[in-house]
Chain A
Amino acid sequence: MKRILSHSARRAVAPSLRTPRSLAVCVQRSYSTHAPNAKLNVPIDYSTTSLLAHEPQTALSSAELPPKVRDGTTRKMNLFQAINDALSTALGQDPSVLVFGEDVAFGGVFRCTMSLADTYGANRVFNTPLTEQGIMGFAIGAAAEGMRPVAEIQFADYVYPAFDQLVNEAAKYRYREGSCGRSAGGLTVRMPCGSVGHGALYHSQSPESLFTHIPGLRVIIPRSPLQAKGLLLSAIRSNDPCVFMEPKILYRAAVEQVPTSPYTLPLSKAEILREGKDVTVISYGQPLYMCMSAIEKVEEELGISVELIDLRTIYPWDKETVYASVRKTGRCLVVHEAMVNAGTGAEVAAAIQEDPDTFLRLEAPVARVAGWSIPTPLMFEKFNIPDVARIYDNIKKVLEY
């Protein structure tokens, strides 16, 4: 019977034309309805936002791309397709790359690994038993012996059984080996994170700051398909263990033109998405779209200009870009979905006020807009995570201080 089961499973995967809904949590429909007269908290229009490259030319004009890629072509992709493209590129270019995790063989519950098992074979792309600690330890061992494993944790909310392996092993491998020379640097661990409207306690979490507290790990959160492809390829090629967190609401929602050639984007390098002189807004991942909406409203109303920075790598993070911006604007706001207490906002705010040149330019305390200090409750999500109105309000407060 077992043979029949796996045979049929394989057969069902083959014609991957059909696009099944993602499993476990459907991300397409948001149950947080917006208020009828809302002007700020209206759904993000991903088809027009300036954060996504809607035209090939926009995608190819990025100064971060090498000339060969800029001369190439693009293809429209959503976030899961861009991740798939990066994984496929890595598997194709480097025989030491492995891709595995729960339900990865049939394409993954969010379709990120679709058809990779067919293309690259079951030895390199495979299902694991349902054990996150096993997945992580296995990946670390493979990395320490020279492979480049890309392990998938089905939801960031389920990474905790793997915490010991990540914190005590992956992060400290090189340190304890010293001149023995081994490391878990080949490791990349991918996990979907963030809210989707109805994920409740265990399908909504953004645990990045648990990892940013751990020296040895690089923590990366992409904002878009184009970014994800380049950052994921960098993470896979990086000789440091990388935690790559994917805002799962963007898997389908964020669609843009993505260069078809392989390319990398720099780790630990922030990006200025919009230049401005009056306030700096710092964020990463999905809230950047909220920030952009809020900024457009404030700028239109007050005739000021706001600088928007995407941290991209949350640790080790690009302090210089942030300092330079805040020295210019003197006012700053950090936005993230995760709980405000001991979050990324705390780290960024503290660093800003510790840097003498930046501190002296501050005109207002650094503000944080983040999730409250609670778990992620089903029915109250729209009152919990930062929305456009809260970001808008805080930009104004920082300005009026």
Chain B
Amino acid sequence: MTSLSTSSRLSQEPNANHVSFPGAVKSAFTHKLKYETSEDYPALPTYRVVDQQGVVVDESFEPDLTDAEVVKLYKDMVFISILDLIMFDAQRQGRLSFYMVSAGEEALSVGSASVLAPEDVIFCQYREQGVFKQRGFTTADFVNQLFANRKDPGKGRNMPVHYGSKELNIHTISSPLATQLPQASGAAYALKMQRLNDASLPPRVVAAYFGEGAASEGDFHAALNMAATRSCPVIFICRNNGYAISTPTLDQYRGDGIASRGIGYGIDTVRVDGNDFWAVREATKRARAMALENGGRPVLIEAMTYRVSHHSTSDDSFAYRARVEVEDWKRRDNPITRLRKWMEVRGIWDDAKEKTCREETRAEILRAFREAEAEKKPPIRAMFEDVYEELTPDLRNQMTQLREHLEKYPNEYDWSEYEDGKDSLKP
């Protein structure tokens, strides 16, 4: 299907009742002048399987997981919620420079990740620790990055929560918003081309996570348009949590949410209840199948949720939203509680199990925390490496300048916490 010839084949028939302009071929002529408004259309529905009480509302729903598998994913959600509490406090105590929690969004990240294949490629924004956990990021992996110690694959260069993993096929998180989205389209195109070149490769998709705020960036629109025109197997997963720092959605966009954008770009789209683990899972499972159909295409999921926490440890959200608003949400709907209730009704979970799970998780995180905090920092040399594949003459020279300076002024610097101290700067 080459698009070259498309427009030349079109011509306007004299008595046609549909237009045949190159830019629109299925549009019927009308003599009624009417502007469409989004209010003329009902808001896109929100798919859910289980309600706030954990009661199944979709009669046709059959869990596709064993009980043990559900429990594992539930524990993933509990894990990140406990990690969040501990790390938030650690930041408050000055033991960590920064942290971001994902409270209220655990079902979204864990649920969606749970139906992706390990070889699928992931791009995150920053509030998707559940994706990392579900895919096998260990407790040590989390805390080594958070403490930027010598075991952090980011070599102490990135801010806390900017995780990445080669083994788990998750690109390292970048702070600038929405930049990952066109990259996700391109990465998906790469996977598609590689499979065309080598049919023995497994079919793979890219999943890209982002907030509703990030969806205002030009990069979001570029990403959808490019993915649509190049039929890229990419799942765009929007976490619509109501806020971008202090900015409420009313200041962020008009129209029917982020989902309506997908349709505008010709991308199959669904809105789901992001606090419903099962709905997110079902929607993403379907999305993955669709993304791989007929050579590939993009899919958009808008998962509705609520940012229960402050934006980050640097934010005090009560400067822009009322405490009761947050308290109401917490009481009304909690994704972890929802799955827990579902499990309890099924008879696979109870208070005793919950208590043990929480205690064990907490103990495990604290153990890893202490180890990671005590680890050395990466060698100072790491600051000059990976700028280019090889150190340039300029960088070598700067490294030497720095070493000579440190040797000349040993009292002015404390390099004891860095692996190999100033010696790592030797050529």
CB of B250 within 8 A of CB of A2, answer yes
- Interchain CB contact (< 8 A) of B217 among A2, A127, A161: A161
CB of A374 within 8 A of CB of B387, answer yes
- Interchain CB contact (< 8 A) of A202 among B94, B159, B311, B377: B159
Residues of A within 8 Å of B319, CB to CB, are: 12-13, 18, 20, 106-107
Total contacting residues, chain A, CB less than 8 A: 72
CB of B158 within 8 A of CB of A105, answer no
In angstroms, Cα B416 to Cα A279, docked, is 35
In angstroms, Cα B314 to Cα A22, docked, is 6
In angstroms, Cα B208 to Cα A342, docked, is 36
CB of A5 within 8 A of CB of B214, answer no
Residues of A within 8 Å of B395, CB to CB, are: 372-374
In angstroms, Cα B128 to Cα A68, docked, is 57
Contact with A along B311-327 (1 / 0, CB 8 A): 11111101111100100
Residues of B within 8 Å of A22, CB to CB, are: 314
- Interchain CB contact (< 8 A) of A198 among B159, B245, B252: B159
Q: B218 in the interface, Cβ–Cβ < 8 Å?
A: yes
In angstroms, Cα B411 to Cα A157, docked, is 33
CB of B383 within 8 A of CB of A4, answer no
In angstroms, Cα B161 to Cα A200, docked, is 12
CB of B159 within 8 A of CB of A203, answer yes
Interface residues of A in 114-152 (CB under 8 A from B): 126-134
CB of A383 within 8 A of CB of B414, answer no
* Count of CB-CB pairs between chains A and B under 8 Å: 204
CB of A378 within 8 A of CB of B148, answer yes
CB of A129 within 8 A of CB of B252, answer yes
CB of B320 within 8 A of CB of A106, answer yes
Residues of B within 8 Å of A107, CB to CB, are: 319
Total contacting residues, chain B, CB less than 8 A: 64
Q: A382 in the interface, Cβ–Cβ < 8 Å?
A: yes
Interface residues of A in 210-257 (CB under 8 A from B): none
CB of A5 within 8 A of CB of B409, answer no
Contact with B along A1-35 (1 / 0, CB 8 A): 01111101101110000101111111001010111
Q: Enumerate 8 A-B pairs (CB-CB under 8 Å) in ascending A order.
A: A23-B315, A40-B412, A103-B245, A129-B213, A130-B213, A130-B247, A374-B384, A389-B412
CB of B177 within 8 A of CB of A21, answer no
Contact with A along B340-363 (1 / 0, CB 8 A): 000000000000000000000000
Residues of B within 8 Å of A175, CB to CB, are: none
- Interchain CB contact (< 8 A) of A378 among B156, B216, B320, B418: B156
Given contacts A38-B411, A160-B176, A389-B412, contact A26 B219 (CB under 8 A): no
- Interchain CB contact (< 8 A) of B218 among A11, A37, A131, A379: A131
CB of B382 within 8 A of CB of A380, answer yes
Q: B165 in the interface, Cβ–Cβ < 8 Å?
A: no
CB distance from A201 to the nearest CB of B (A): 6
Q: B36 in the interface, Cβ–Cβ < 8 Å?
A: no
* Chain A residue nearest in CB terms to B414: A35
Q: B249 in the interface, Cβ–Cβ < 8 Å?
A: yes
Q: A191 in the interface, Cβ–Cβ < 8 Å?
A: no
Given contacts A36-B414, A201-B159, contact A133 B218 (CB under 8 A): yes
Residues of B within 8 Å of A39, CB to CB, are: 411-412
Given contacts A20-B316, A382-B413, contact A6 B250 (CB under 8 A): yes
CB distance from A383 to the nearest CB of B (A): 6
* Chain A residue nearest in CB terms to B408: A393
CB of A25 within 8 A of CB of B314, answer yes
Given contacts A201-B157, A379-B148, contact A372 B383 (CB under 8 A): yes
Contact with A along B239-273 (1 / 0, CB 8 A): 00010111111111100000000000000000000
Contact with B along A334-346 (1 / 0, CB 8 A): 0000001100000
CB of A130 within 8 A of CB of B216, answer yes
CB of B97 within 8 A of CB of A380, answer no
